[in-house]
Amino acid sequence: MDKISIAFDCDGTLMNLNGTINTKLVDFAKALIHAGFVVYIWSGGGVQYAKDIARGCGIIGATICYKGDVKPDICIDDVSSSALGHINLIIK
């Protein structure tokens, strides 16, 4: 059985627009990685930006990519028009 893949957006999702980290989502991402899920951290701002956010949040072991480079099973984003995953969870 293939592992479930989950992508987390950076701006407005893992970190709000004023720079505050969403600790619940960061802890969730870390727990998923620890449990063996495939976790992507991505951003429309590019790979280096996503890498910097992941590092700043202490997320180790995720695949870093440009937003939309992969089609995850689940996408967690703050933009309701985002249809980047097979299942899209929009957080506010």
Q: Where are the domains of the chain?
A: 17-35+42-70
DSSP state of 37: -
Contact 88, 82 (CB under 8 A): yes
Q: What is the pLDDT along the chain (92 residues), one digit of tens a residue?
A: 588 999 999 999 999 889 899 999 999 999 999 999 999 999 989 999 999 999 999 999 999 999 888 889 999 988 876 667 778 878 77
Rounded distance, CA 24 to CA 14, Å?
Answer: 9
Q: 21-29: which pairs have CB atoms within 8 A and are 24 or more residues apart?
A: 21/56, 21/57, 22/91, 25/76, 25/91, 26/57, 26/58, 26/59, 29/57, 29/59, 29/62
Using CB atoms within 10 A of its CB, is residue 81 exposed (0-12), middle (13-18) or buried (19+)?
A: exposed
